[in-house]
Structure 1
Amino acid sequence: MEANEASPFESSEMLATFLISTPLLPESWKLCSQANAAAANLRSFVVERIGTVVYVAFSGVGMIGGSDPSWRNLVPLESIGGVPLFSPRRNKDAEEPVMIHEGMLNLFSSIFNSIQNQVLGILETTDTKSIVITGHSIGGATASLCTLWLISYLQSISSSLSVMCITFGSPLLGNKSFSEAISKEKWRGNFIQVVSKHDIMPRLLFAPITPLTSQLNFLLQFWHLSMTSPEFGKLAKQVSDKDKAKLFTAVMDSLEASTQNGEISSSILFHPFGNYFFVSEEGALCVDSPVTIIKMMHLLLSTSSPSGSIEDHLKYGEYVNRLSLEMLNQKNSLLRNIPNSSYEAGLELAIQSSGLADKESAVIIPAKECLKLARRMGPSPALNAASLALKLSKVNPYRAQIEWYKSWCDEQDDEKGYYDSFKTRGACKREMKVNINRQKLARFWNNVIDMLEKNELPHDFDQRAKWVCASQFYKLLSEPLDIAEYYGKGMHRVKGHYLEHGRERRYEIFDRWWENRIVSTGEDNKERSTFASSTQDSCFWAKVEEARDWLNCMRSERDTNKLAMYWEKIENFEKYAIELIQNKEVSSDVLAKNSSYSTWVEDLKEMKQLRANVPRYPHQFTRFLDGEVVP
């Protein structure tokens, strides 16, 4: 495959073929049915061993809707049972925290102890090779949470046991960050979300939260008991056809508005994750792109009716039993006369498998366009990373020129140092060239971050030593220039101080890369014998500028409480700076005779002398604060 060739569409069909060729789907559904039946006896899950595979199935009956206020809430998800679910860098890198549906988390937490005991007992059995965790409806959400906990736990004990989660008609579970975290941890392949083409339950949380949606969700949870108790089947009549139509329309409208310009709308709270396995009477279609999943949810539901979208929630047994290799072989025979490429043939097969082949062109055309979005256009993440390495070598000369400028500043007679020379620069060509190089480096690193966040780079890119060290080196060298630019142009007077109002996001991201790097034994305990080539706190000069501002404020402030506050901040910074210097974690330009830091130290000495005289000369001190000269 060429570097710029799209990835083949058939990869999704391959996963569909694999699932259909194994007993995973029918066995999982059989256990889900048993779990739903066992719920009548207050059993929330059932366990069964088939050879070396252990199946754990969760009941789809749970008190999560109705008047429960948690139906409306998303809550942070960091750990379960004391096991962190995502590596710290994942949660920190996200623009918003990983959050999930509070009611579903509460439901899982209420049975976690019994689940933990059962699963840990399974792990002690040496002949267990893999675990399949499954569930129908709300049980699917519980199964997903159990899978997340188990995968994280197995990683913590370095176990090679394989885990797969197969859900049927599961509601959405978490926000965008939740979906992205699973993808970045490379866990997406562990989750198969089986969704029938008309089932409203997996689509329910796209609709605005209203008493109607809450009522119907409550009803759907108890419909499963109609298979064993006809009495519960009567609950279906409590929702009128008119209310069902309103709910159907609300879900359809929300789905239609949820994806715009190939992206998911920011108004959508819940996002799909893992692989979605859409099933119908005609076959199965598997996709993993969240945008494509949502579009297909909309297109498939548009061919249904309000009543059909509710009844379809209980038909997974029929769909699973119809799926077989024989069905796939029949469909493949239909494609033999299609003189198109393998991609187009795969696309045609996907449309047939989704059950849309006999629909109007108004549905088929958007469906094909939607599936085309699932193609990964352009180079693979690995090729992108290799290309970036070449681009890094091309921008390294810019960094080298800035390093030369830093050395040049250290040798000047004015003894200002690197930071202050750039801050007070004039129209000299030398400084103009440095500034241009600074901007070129910023564009390069902003592009790196953009590619990483678009999943165009390997998921472990920000853990690779080459890039962690390169970004740290860049940050330590370049951020002092950004700070000098900020204060040299007086931007702090307009926006506020740099640390809170001026720092670029790339530096915050690189901080996290460095903090979460893999540290070799003894690396952080090495003592320096000489001053560092670059100050190890890239924000040091911004802190100096704030400290200078605090001293100036003390000269004009009369409020004793504020004076005490300023002095405490000054003392804390002084201790911090002294510690850095003693550990030789600053570069020599910090101690240059006329640097901002050295000037601040002299001003601080004067202020300390003045404060020493305050108890004896309070009146004179007040006059000094007013700007008068003390006799």
Structure 2
Amino acid sequence: MDDAAGEEEASMFETSHVLGALLASSPLLARSWDRCTAATAAAPGFVHGEEDGGSKVYVGFSGVQAALSAAGAAVAGGGGGADVFAPVGLGGGDAAAGRMFAPLVAAEPDPAAAAGEPVAVQALALQCFLKLCGSPDFQMLLNEIRGKAVVFTGHSLGGTIAALAALHFLCISSSSSPWAPAPPVLCVTFGSPLLGNEALSRAILRERWGGNFCHVVSQHDVVPRLLFCPPDTVPAHIIVGMQLHQWPARTRQTGAVTTVTMRMADTDKDALRQLIQRHVGTVAMEQKLAAPDETTGGSPYRPFGTYVLCSPEGAACVDNATAVVQMLYATFASRSSPSAGSPEAAHSCYGELVLKMPQHLLLKRRLCVDDAPATPNYDDGVSLALEASGIDAMVRAHAMEASTARQWLKTSKRAGRRPSLNSARLATQLGRITPCRAQIEWYKALFDAEMGYYDAFKQRRSPRKYSKVNLNRIKLGQFWDRVLTMLDAGQLPHDFHRRAKWVNAARFYQLLVEPLDIADYHHHGHHRTSGSYMTHGRERRYELFDRWWQEKACTGGAGGDVTSSMLAASASSRRRSKYAGLTQDPCFWARVEEAREQTESARGERDVAELAMKLEELQEFERYSRELVASKEVSVDVLAPQSSYTLWVEEWNQLKLRDEVRTMLLRF
């Protein structure tokens, strides 16, 4: 039996409809919608109010100002959305946006794995949010809600602004304490257009913020699906007009607003539906769960977070991005009735839905009991999820959509579990290679008192022991390279590099084995033919492990290089009572080798300026190494009588006895 079949057989329940029912039964959606309608009626940027005795704050964002600012562009552009709804990079030209969303911009652990795609969001939403964020009222709100449970919410364009506000709040919270849990923040949007591209979705997953976003979408709402069309084909006046349609008629302005609403009313609804269905269907057909990070099709936009697919029958929650696309297509393509209603009605029905769904959950739950053989619980759950999202598998007209949606719900469950299963398998393999690590630890202990395992490995002491340790070194390197290959390919959880188990395991491996790689590099003379180990010989895995460790904020983290990180750690951490089991700077021996070469070069240097520069570098390394030794951040093998470090200290002390050297050192 293959893995996919085995995983499906192990799936006893489908919980999409259960989560949807739980959400619909709670007061969350109703309270969020009330705040949305209040914000839309008020028209300025946002409104807020406290619930549950002041422990929870609901902040509703209005999309009216965004619609008003886009109305003129929609008229001037003939209705196209190439400018209004074009994606713009967060880390690109706008420095303010880059600072506001810094963790998202920096969330990609390996630039090579992102195919160069920057994190980008919808231009209109970002423009309106930046303007809002600059207001004193919004800054005051951010200060007021710190430490409280917050629900950001918005309808239509207001939903995109609410999502950016939630992302900004999460970013500033994580920046103040990088490894603290995410603050109690939830963003609930109703009928919101897509906000960002695939890179944004990846970044949110890596930051573990996917569960902070809940997007409520009705079955036939065009707005959440419209940006699946290429930007130059998007009828911008539809999204703008839908937002302005929610604004009280007595407050609507004339001019561009009237033109947009009239154009929306005159739009061929069938043609609009076909346009959306064609492009959403194209994306749905092209996306493959085996490679979910591939962005194909004409639109750069992709969903993130949890989507709550609503119909009068209930709600189903889907959090796999690819399955979300499939379900958005399947629910939109199936008509629950010939009179599905106008696009305006489908976009403004959320207030009615949040009131009716709890009633349907109480009154329409039924058990289908007949003489047919009982179906598995999992299949029953899938059928209930389809019904809740508006697809009735018993209706012939829905047969194709129901079959496709059923397949994708099942496949998304497997796809959602597969990275975690891969991670679990790797954990088992990590346990199996523990003997390789233990052999190297034994080898290290063997030479700690004489010359240290670094020099013993470099000099090939005890050839049989060397051969065994070298083989284990290679096996461990192959394992970690395989881990990184799987991470690059999206086969592991997006937050894998932030999980303490793997960060700690990678760090221990690096501190134990990288000195052997440095020893091998210098034994073969690569430092002479290829250059310094740290700039030309270091494996990619070690650079990534440094980044993982620094992100964990266990080494002072802010410094860009290992030296500054180690000094920060040494200064801020509690002094050790005994020497570390492993030297805490993985490149320490490479620095020792460079210092020995620099010392040898300084002995024969005749140029005063060159000698002064070399002496200054040597003195800097002396200060650094002494601090490591004094704080016991080195292993005892560093201080072994015949270690390279001990030999360098002797060579350096002899050099300092020379008159011209002593004179120069007094100037520093």
Bin for the TM-score computed over the shorter chain: 0.7 to 0.9
What are the superposed Cα offsets for residues 418-448 of structure 1, whole Å, 9 maximum, x if unpaired?
2233234399332221122223434555677
TM-score by length of 2: 0.69
Counterpart secondary structure, 1:340? coil
Match of 1:170, SS?
A: coil
**Contact between 1:201 and 1:313, CA under 8 Å: does it hold in 2?**
yes
Q: What does residue 32 of structure 1 align with? A: 36
CA deviations over 1:72-104 (Å, ceiling 9, x no partner): 312159999999989899947575787655643
> Any gaps of 5 or more consecutive residues in structure 1?
616-631
Which amino acid in structure 2 is aligned with residue 284 of structure 1?
Answer: A
Say which SS state the counterpart of residue 412 (structure 2) adopts: coil
Partner of 2:163: 144
Select which of 373, 376, 387 maps to 1:352: 387
Name the aligned partner's letter for residue 44 of structure 1.
G
Give aligned pairs, total. 601
- Whether 1:371 and 2:409 are equivalent positions in the alignment is yes
Greater alpha carbon shift after TM alignment, 94-103 vs 152-161: 152-161
Conservation of the 8 A alpha-carbon contact between 2:455 and 2:643 = yes
For 1:276, what is the secondary structure of its paired residue? strand
Partner of 2:64: 61
Listed one character per residue, the Cα deviations across residues 137-180 of structure 1 (whole Å, up to 9, x for unaligned) are: 22112222334556688998999996543211223334556545
1:252/1:386 Cα in 2 relative to 1: closer, same or farther (>3 Å)?
A: closer
Tell me which residue corresponds to 1:210. 232
What is the percentage of aligned positions where both structures have the same residue?
35
- Offset at residue 345 of structure 1 (A): 0.4
Question: Contact 1:99–1:175 at 8 Å: present in 2 too?
Answer: yes
> Are residue 577 (structure 1) and residue 615 (structure 2) matched?
no
* Alpha carbons 1:4, 1:379 under 8 Å: kept: no
> Equivalent of 2:319, from 285, 288, 295?
288
Report the counterpart of residue 559 of structure 2 in structure 1.
none
Query: 178, 194, 198: which is aligned to 2:216?
Result: 194
Q: What's the counterpart of residue 471 of structure 2?
A: 436
On the 8 A contact 1:57/1:135 being kept in 2, the answer is yes
Matches for 1:187-266 after TM superposition, within 5 Å? 187-210=209-232, 212=234, 221-225=243-247, 229=252, 231=258, 232-236=260-264, 249-250=278-279, 252-259=281-288, 261=290, 263-266=292-295
Q: Offset at 1:513?
A: 3.5
> Residue type matched to 1:142 in 2?
I
Are residue 275 (structure 1) and residue 334 (structure 2) matched? no
Cα distance in 2 between the residues matched to 1:69 and 1:559: 64
In the alignment, is the contact (CA less than 8 A) between 1:200 and 1:309 conserved in 2?
yes
Alignment partners' CA distance in 2, 1:379 and 1:274: 16
* Aligned equivalent of 1:516, options 548, 552, 555: 552
Matched, 1:170 2:171: no
Q: After superposition, where does 1:370-449 map in structure 2 within 5 Å?
A: 370-375=408-413, 394-410=432-448, 415=451, 417-425=452-460, 428-442=463-477
Q: Deviations over 1:267-288 (max 9, x none)?
A: 6855433220112355432111
Distance 1:299 1:609, change over 3 A: farther
Query: 1:86 and 1:494 mapped to 2: Cα distance?
Result: 40
Unaligned runs of 5+ in 2: 1-5, 74-81, 557-568, 664-668
Q: 1:60 is aligned with what amino acid? A: G
1:50 and 1:535 map into 2 onto residues whose CA distance is 53
Partner of 2:563: none
Equivalent position of 1:626 in the other structure: none
Does residue 111 of the first structure (1) align with residue 132 of the second (2)? yes
Q: Is the 8 A contact 1:132 1:164 kept in 2?
A: yes
TM-score between both structures, scaled by the size of structure 1: 0.73
Q: Distance in 2 between matches of 1:100 and 1:281?
A: 32
Matched, 1:10 2:14: yes
Aligned Cα RMSD in Å? 5.6
Q: Give the letter aligned to residue 133 of structure 1.
A: F
Residues 162-215 of structure 1 deviation map (CA, whole Å, 9 limit, x = unaligned)? 654321122333455654565566654443201233434334444444375667
Kept in 2: contact 1:59–1:138 (CA 8 A): yes
Decide whether the 8 Å contact of 2:503 with 2:548 is kept in 1. no
User: For residues 323 and 563 of structure 1, what CA distance do their matches in structure 2 show?
Assistant: 81
For residues 553 and 235 of structure 1, what CA distance do their matches in structure 2 show? 79
Q: Distance in 1 between matches of 2:584 and 2:183?
A: 42
| Matches of 2:505 and 2:146, distance apart in 1 | 42
- 1:44 partnered with 2:45: yes
Segment of structure 1 superposing worse, 395-404 or 204-213:
204-213
User: Contact (CA 8 Å) 1:385, 1:458: kept in 2 or not?
Assistant: no
- Deviation at residue 262 of structure 1 after TM alignment: 5.1
The answer (yes or no) to whether the contact 1:75–1:102 under 8 Å persists in 2 is: no
What SS does structure 2 have at the residue aligned with 1:199? coil
C-alpha change, 1:418 and 1:51, in structure 2 (3 Å) is closer
Q: Is the contact made by 1:17 and 1:328 (CA closer than 8 Å) also made in structure 2? A: no
Are the counterparts in 2 of residues 140 and 169 from structure 1 also a CA contact under 8 Å?
A: yes
CA 441–292 in structure 1, closer or farther in 2 if over 3 Å, else same? same
Q: 1:323 aligns with which of 333, 338, 357?
A: 357
Distance in 1, Cα, partners of 2:293 & 2:170 = 28
Contact 2:289 2:412 (C-alpha < 8 Å) held by counterparts: no
Q: Which amino acid aligns with 2:387?
A: Q
Q: Are the structure 2 counterparts of residues 491 and 225 from structure 1 closer, same or farther at C-alpha, using a change threshold of 3 Å?
A: farther
1: distance between equivalents of 2:182 and 2:574?
Answer: 36
Distance in 2, matches of 1:33 and 1:297, equals 25
Task: Determine the structure 2 residue equivalent to 1:621.
Answer: none
Q: CA deviation at 1:5?
A: 7.2
1:342 positional shift? 1.3
Match of 1:19 among 20, 23, 28: 23
Comparing 440-449 with 282-291, which one deviates more in the overlay? 440-449
* Alpha-carbon distance in structure 2 between the residues aligned to 1:310 and 1:213: 15
Provide the residue aligned with 2:78 in structure 1.
none
Instruction: Give the whole-Å Cα distance in 2 for the aligned partners of 1:159 and 1:132.
Output: 17
Structure 1 position 237, deviation (Å): 6.1
Deviates more, 1:508-517 or 1:597-606: 597-606
CA contact (8 A) 1:171 1:202 kept: yes
Contact 2:518 2:589 in 1 (8 A): yes
Tell me by how many angstroms 1:537 deviates.
0.7
Query: Residue 539 of structure 1 corresponds to which residue in structure 2?
Result: 587
Per-residue displacement from partner, 1:467-513 (whole Å, max 9, x unpaired)? Answer: 66554433221111122334445666787644345334366336644
- The answer (yes or no) to whether the contact 2:277–2:333 under 8 Å persists in 1 is no
1:503 aligned residue (515, 539, 555): 539
What CA distance in whole angstroms lies between the structure 2 residues aligned with 1:186 and 1:196? 26
SS of 1:285's equivalent in the other structure is strand
Matching residue's letter, 2:552? N
